[in-house]
Amino acid sequence: MSEEEPELIPAKWIEIYHYCPRIIYYMGVLGARERETAYMREGRMEEECEEEKEKRRKTLLAKRKEKVIEKWTNLKLYSQKLGIVGVVDMLVKTEEGLKVVDIKNTAKKKLSSGYLYQTTAYAILAQEHFKKPVKNIIIYYTKNDKIFEIKITDQIKEHTIWTIKRIKEIIEKAKMPKTKRKRQCKGCGYYHLCRGL
Ligand code: SF4
């Protein structure tokens, strides 16, 4: 990447946007970083050792019983066109084609929209990189053993691209998005900045 090229947005910010768009303002405009709360710690896996991550990947693949022809792990991908960068936890080639796998350290009951659009962004990145269609994503919740396999529709893809545009807009215009006080505020690591606004 040359120095003139604009900074790429981490794909993880797509998930954050769906948690609360105001956090994008705090991170992308003010350069603030969260105070880690117990709630946020739940989802954090970056510090986990590779050995542990590999164990989780193996558990997931064994549960699915789908033949894996080839697999890639910790695959760093970026797209200048989209303006994002991300590390794909696992990409597998199966008889149905390429699938992106994202492992989340959570016990949520439902598939969260943030995870859906973040993983779809990885699929778009992988598709651009391999020049092959990536039609499915798999999201695995480790704490309750839930596996979601989703076929990426045009609508999901369009909403992912829309989210990326919104993130860029917040950063470029440096305008704090409006939000309502909500359930997420309780566990938010930016509450100390937001309080009273
Ligand atoms: S405290 Fe609430 S409104 Fe403020 S950034 Fe966090 S989730 Fe968003």
Average pLDDT score, the chain = 88
Residue 126 belongs to a domain: yes
On the CB side of 188, how many CA atoms lie within 13 Å of its CA? 22
Give me ligand 1 centre to Cα 57, in Å: 32
pLDDT digits (tens, 9 = 90+) for 52-101: 888 888 888 888 888 999 999 999 999 999 999 999 999 999 999 999 99
Residue 190 belongs to a domain: yes
| Minimal-distance CA residue to ligand 1 atom 2 | 185
**Residues in contact with 135: Cβ distance below 8 Å, sequence separation at least 6, in sequence order:** 96, 97, 98, 99, 151, 152
Q: Ligand 1: does its nearest atom lie under 6 Å from the Cβ of 185?
A: yes
Best of 170, 179, 193 for a ligand 1 pocket test (most atoms within 8 Å of beta carbon):
179
Residue 1 belongs to a domain: no
Angle between helices 12-19 and 154-173 (to 10 degrees): 80
Q: How confident is the model at residue 44 (pLDDT cuts 50, 70, 90)?
A: low
Domain that holds residue 124: 9-194
Residue 157 belongs to a domain: yes
CB contact at 8 A, 86 and 126: no
Quote the pTM value: 0.89
Q: What CATH number corresponds to the domain at position 136?
A: 3.90.320
Structural domains counted in the chain: 1
